[in-house]
A and B are shown apart, each in its own frame.
Chain A
Amino acid sequence: MKYLDEFQDPDLARRLLDDIHSVVTRPWALMEVCGGQTHTIIRHGIDQLLPDQVELIHGPGCPVCVTPLEVIDKALEIASRPGVIFCSFGDMLRVPGTGRDLFQVRGEGGDVRVVYSPLDALHIAQQNPDREVVFFGIGFETTAPPNAMTVYQARKLGIKNFSLLVSHVRVPPAIKAIMESPNCRVQGFLAAGHVCSVMGVGEYPDLADRYRVPIVVTGFEPLDILEGVRRTVLQLERGEHTVDNAYPRAVRPEGNPAAQAMLADVFEGTDRAWRGIGVIPDSGWRLSSRYRDFDAEHRFSVGDIDTREPAECRSGEVLQGLLKPNECAAFGTTCTPRNPLGATMVSSEGACAAYYLYRRLDITTAPLEASPVA
């Protein structure tokens, strides 16, 4: 396995940066949709190296951040029940619900387990037939297909003690909602490459036309980001607004038809609430009626959840690109990864966490002296 170095090469990065600097003639505001892209940008200091005219606005593409508090609270309620094994990807465990998180539920005796695949959760269900095993199925078009496959498998294998707490969301309706926001400043999008590797690019030309914005499918390594920025800026400077694939090593125009078929079989479209943003029409998936038996919300009757968002958390504005994390009064004071008010501060892909972890200190970018010894 050798593929990381090529996409972090400082010389190539410098050439791309020079290109971007040479073509920019006026200010442009671009949104990177995905939280993984946000972290690459901040972790590698890419935002410090771009021309001042190119502003990167951090988008809503952090799956952990946009999961509604109500769903987190339902997860906490289910995970607290005796006889339940609650399985989740690691980065959901520290996300604050109303008053606590999944780590604390585990500390109180709940059986909360980190898994690396939903199929691991299904395996746990097979090994524990006398327990109810629930998998926390959140995320975008990237995590939805394996979760759909797991439910499909559970039914095929006749596994009755497995269910999915589902809160899946889709990117294109979010782009639409952002562009129709009265405060929208976004002029171009770096689309999330892994989403497109599943869904293809077919959903994007209409959006690019309708809102007259370039949409460039972009990967996640530093050179991917720089190439995405370069192509977006080139289009903007030329007055163009097309869909361009700058991530062809992973994204085919048609996407992954097998994954799409699995999604269509197991899920159906639904309106979905996004944490901090509100309900976006037709922006999510839920289990279709044929798979309702596997829906944890039905199985555990968690309708009466008392949900309270901290009033001072402005993560919704951060998720819509209306506010930079450090412009929030709570940033770094009452809101830290240690004591987060919102998911954007705790998620490994959250914009507030990225700023806190990597950019707290505004220091010079002047190069260090050469290493003092060989």
Chain B
Amino acid sequence: MPETTQLTAVDPTAWTCPVALRDHPRVVMGHGGGGALSAELVQHIFAPAFGGETLSQLGDSAAVSLGGVRMAFSTDSYVVRPLFFPGGSIGDLAVNGTVNDLAMSGARPAYLSCGFILEEGVEMSVVARVAETLGAAARRAGVEVVTGDTKVVESGHGDGVFINTAGIGLIPSGVDIRPQRVVPGDVVIVSGDIGVHGVAIMSVREGLEFGVEIESDCAALGGLVDAMLAVTQDLHVLRDPTRGGLAAALNEIAVASGAGVVIQEGDVPVPPAVANACAILGLDPLYVANEGKLVAFVPREHADAVLGAMRAHPLGANARVIGEAVEEHPGMVVARTGLGGTRVVDLPIGEQLPRIC
């Protein structure tokens, strides 16, 4: 046994398996969970196969130029169950998710495509209701659905309704939002309560009741980003912490920027209902999905003004500073606990699993 019990710093990059996906010869659910398994799937299979400089940036949306115009381009697929949940539907998600991916690069979302994959036997009234909510969400977000596609798969080969949306928007001149711009000293801001969407979905999907109804925070964030950009165009990073939650978003930014991130756990806004649900299930709110929140890395000198602008917007009323970028532990996220200790906040592997007791 070693003489010392002192923990030593270990190089996180040395832990990556050198052989692509050697321990998962088949796809498992975690490959879609937005954590380490998802990242490996993209890095080892998709990115090498597709190639390309723009794709290698691996942002939520791609920043591209066409005819001298800078645009953001993004796509996402929606396989949520149930199709309708407290606070939203798959239609709302299909619009807001893609709109938010565009907004996180500072783009003004403009046009969406919409592909439906329907399962044989699903009721037409359900399809109509989903379409209605999708259309209404697009109008609220100020985007237009301009093209689409429909496929039907045999009964038992789908989950009722799957939707894919792609979106395109213009990036205003002078706006350059990407993780590589993060520098130590940047202030980390979240736009509001964390973990709400994931707990709302769990409460209906798994038949769990937590004493109070929790509604999804599903919302389009283009207006909030506009309000922030009106204060300063010098925002370094924006990210909507969806699958994998705030923890995954912060880790992706830390790795891509090479900065360390420190958050004050007690400053992260977690509603009591979410905290209690997570305590019951053994989940960490930092890893639970959100759909209408963003996390921003902002130069310290602009932080007060940006925070003020966010709080003046309905979707940022509960915006809070939760931490900062630091020079120490590059690529890693560390939380100061409420009691004064510290802990690493890691990238989740796949999905969080409720514990046994």
Contacts and interface: CB of A to CB of B under 8 A. Distances in A.
Interface of A: 1-5, 8, 10, 13-14, 36, 42-49, 63-64, 89-94, 103-104, 106-108, 114, 116, 138-140, 142-143, 194, 222, 322-324, 326-327, 332-333, 336-339, 348-349, 355-365, 367-368, 371-374
B7 A4 contact: no
Contacts of B26: 104, 107-108
B159 interface: no
B15 A45 contact: no
Given A338-B17, A348-B282, A373-B321, A4 B344 contact: no
Contacts of B264: 368, 371
A36 B5 CA distance: 22
A139 B356 CA distance: 8
A49 B332 CA distance: 22
Given A327-B1, A360-B7, A372-B300, A2 B339 contact: no
A114 B353 contact: yes
B329 A49 contact: no
A45 B264 CA distance: 13
Contact of B23 (A43, A139, A194, A339): A339
A3 B307 CA distance: 31
A322 B187 CA distance: 43
Given A1-B210, A326-B7, A373-B307, A365 B341 contact: yes
A360 B276 contact: no
B220 to A, nearest CB: 26
Interface in B51-69: none
A360 B10 contact: yes
Contacts of A355: 7
Given A333-B15, A359-B344, A372-B300, A64 B272 contact: no
Contact of A4 (B6, B10, B211, B275): B275
B187 A373 contact: yes
A249 to B, nearest CB: 15
B354 A116 contact: yes
Nearest to B36: A338
B353 A358 contact: no
B106 to A, nearest CB: 22
Given A89-B355, A89-B356, A139-B357, A371 B321 contact: yes
Contacts of B27: 107
Contact of A49 (B10, B30, B341): B341
B355 A363 contact: no
A191 B287 CA distance: 29
B341 A44 contact: yes
A1 B273 contact: yes
B276 A1 contact: yes
B313 interface: no
Given A1-B273, A338-B349, A45 B357 contact: no
Contacts of B132: none
Contacts of B349: 94, 337-338
Nearest to A324: B5
Contacts of A10: 266, 338-340
B252 interface: no
Given A45-B343, A356-B346, 16 more contacts: A36-B355, A44-B337, A44-B341, A45-B337, A49-B340, A49-B341, A64-B356, A89-B354, A91-B282, A92-B356, A114-B353, A114-B354, A357-B343, A359-B7, A359-B344, A372-B187
